[in-house]
Amino acid sequence: MTTYRELLQRTKDEISEIDAGTAQATPGAAWVDVREIDEWQEGHLPGAVHVPRGYLESRIEAVAADKTQPVILYCAAGNRSAFAAKTLQELGYENVHSLAGGFTDWKRNGLEVVLPRTLSPEKRTRYSRHLLIPEIGEEGQLKLLDARILLIGAGGLGSPASLYLAAAGIGTLGIVDADIVDETNLQRQIAHSLDTLGTPKVDSAKRAIQALNPDVDVITYRERLTSENIDRILDDGWDIIVDGADNFPTRYLVNDASVWRGIPVVHGSIYRFEGQVTVFKPHEGPCYRCLFPEPPPPELAPSCAEGGVLGVLPGIVGTLQTNEAIKLAAGIGEPLVGRLLLLDALATEFNEVKIERRADCPVCGDHPTITEYIDYVEFCSHA
């Protein structure tokens, strides 16, 4: 009958045990931490991946597919990693080593240790449905919590966008809107309510956001975007802009600024039953001016107040914009860069056209002719 100590000694005799110096000098090694999750969360070795010993056999091949590649295993003291090394040898790994003295000695010798950022239990609960999705997980959720997204407009498009971005846990939301909530808005601008009639839309939206998710930091800009304030607003630092503006002058200002600052813009626009969505990613795809170099004449630019809009339409388009913004923030999926999505809500038909960056674009092209903000005169009346 073998004791634990005998088993451990016998195992150590059968595997390769190396010290920290030798381990660090091994090129191209995969470092694997076989401890439990609570130990991992208190700190781990730089570049290590976590495969708890209970999952070693089932997960190691996903982490180190090449069995000739050096693998360095460690645990707290060098015991569990010895057993793990033996297991990997049995699985056919040719170049396995166990770190003598484990994490404890490593840390005691003052070598570099990484503290992982993890979600608090409250956040794990709130975002559990995100954490279950492999493409998001904890890493993706942390990216969403770190993201800073600016919403232009807290109206038809901005309402669903602000609510769903807040629900997703976007850490910082900026909202730019000079308007006051009025009754005609309530047919579609669902971030507002009877309770906030007569109050600024940015405050109304902030209230709705914080009732949904207090994790979100909301920065309000109760002003109309112009060449005078756009730099000040953008200087606050934004990763993504969600364009829910209702007029051309603003859209062109946002576009030009985003190209010059390298900020992706998720574009959405609506009229009656039709919507358009795309992502303008500076220098990777087209910008708004590649699509429409100049604003159209007034007769081709009616506002929703003049033409009307199906209430639910901005809900659909704004939510599609939010989907794109979340994908950009988390770095997943294929955003609509170079693709213009067209929605006909009356026929429930989606179409897509390809849009390309133009070398002769006046702003993002090879020889830009527009290098300063333009405040186009706004000719359409708006609600």
Partner 1 sequence: MSVVRVPPVLRSEAGGAREVEASGSTVRELLEDLSTRMPALGSKVYGEGEIQSFVNVYVDGEDVRTRNGLDTPVRDSSTVILLPAMAGGR
Q: Which residues bind partner 1 (CB under 8 A)?
A: 153, 155-158, 185, 189, 243-248, 251, 268-274, 276, 291-297, 300-305, 307, 309, 314, 340, 342, 344, 346-347, 351-356, 358, 380, 382-383
**CA-based nearest residue to 341, from 288, 281, 279, 294:** 279
If the CB atoms of residues 179 and 203 are measured against partner 1, the closer one turns out to be 179
The neighbouring-strand residues paired with 49 are 32
If the CB atoms of residues 35 and 251 are measured against partner 1, the closer one turns out to be 251
The neighbouring-strand residues paired with 285 are 282
φ, ψ for residue 274 (rounded to 5)? -120, 145
Taking the complex as a whole, the smallest distance from the CB of residue 66 to partner 1 amounts, in Å, to 42
In this structure, the chain runs to a length of 383
Which token pair is 172? Answer: 């910082």
CA 318 – CA 244 distance, rounded (Å): 8
The neighbouring-strand residues paired with 219 are 174
Taking the complex as a whole, the smallest distance from the CB of residue 337 to partner 1 amounts, in Å, to 15
Taking the complex as a whole, the smallest distance from the CB of residue 246 to partner 1 amounts, in Å, to 4
If the CB atoms of residues 131 and 151 are measured against partner 1, the closer one turns out to be 151
Q: Which residues contact 367 (CB under 8 A, 6 or more apart)?
A: 360
Taking the complex as a whole, the smallest distance from the CB of residue 144 to partner 1 amounts, in Å, to 24
Taking the complex as a whole, the smallest distance from the CB of residue 83 to partner 1 amounts, in Å, to 59
Torsion (CA) 47, 49, 53, 56 in degrees, nearest 10? -120
Taking the complex as a whole, the smallest distance from the CB of residue 237 to partner 1 amounts, in Å, to 23
If the CB atoms of residues 55 and 379 are measured against partner 1, the closer one turns out to be 379
If the CB atoms of residues 33 and 203 are measured against partner 1, the closer one turns out to be 203
Give the residue ranges of DSSP H helices in 157-247.
Answer: 158-168, 201-212, 230-234
If the CB atoms of residues 251 and 281 are measured against partner 1, the closer one turns out to be 251
